[in-house]
Amino acid sequence: MSNKDVSVVLAHGAWADGSSWARVITALDAEGITAVAAPLPLTSLADDVAALNRTLDRVEGPVVLAGHAYAGAVIAETRSPRIKALVYVAALAPDEGETVADVFYRAPPHPFAPKLAPDTSGLIWLPEPAFASAFAQGARAEDLAVLAAVQRPISPACITVPVGRPLWKDVPSWFLVAEEDRMIAPETQRGMAARMKAAVRSHAVDHTPIVTAPKLVADIIREAIGALA
């Protein structure tokens, strides 16, 4: 199986959209690897899984499915038999019966982590200063401006629903542990990766390496593709 036989589907996390994967997409494209970012509405976990499934229906062949942050829960809820590997990028991986909030709040928050609460519409936005202080402290100013401008709020319905049997129990998984993450504690990431029996790759990167260290992310996705051969 060659790189050209495998499709890569990318799922963005909370307070982001598909453009957060732009540099990973271009890095993969340069090697002839087809990558598509799934647009998640962030309105409920079920809505996000349905949106991901629609994107999976649009691509051909075996799939390596990657998720950043909250999307770790989303990618594990799909049941497509074409998914051959999962890649978690500083992502949340609740086990069956757990919620995203259970694992997100498992460790005490970083001192720079923002306080999060729904607005009058019931949606949770990331305070704009938090992009530079906690979400992507390693990003360039122009990247921070875009991240803040395109952010999508997340509904509590995404993070308070217990998940089913996660797909990582049935297909091989890779996990990029972000050792300088200020949103999801690195020890939480290591604990989730260990119980997943994932192939762990630890790097001194912030919560959003898909923006700040895209080559590292592309390398892990490429490693997952290579394992399929």
For the chain of 229 residues, list the mean pLDDT of each consecutive stretch of 10: 84 98 98 96 98 97 98 97 98 98 91 94 97 98 97 97 97 98 98 98 98 98 94
Q: Which residues pair with 176 in a beta bridge?
A: 89, 201
What is the reported pLDDT for 2? 66
Q: What is the pTM of this model?
A: 0.97
What is the reported pLDDT for 22? 98
Three-class SS of residue 205?
coil
Q: Which residue in this structure is represented by tokens 């038999």? A: 81
CA dist list (Å): 159 to 44, 69, 129, 184, 193: 8, 12, 23, 14, 19
- Cβ atoms of 142 and 132 within 8 Å: the answer is no
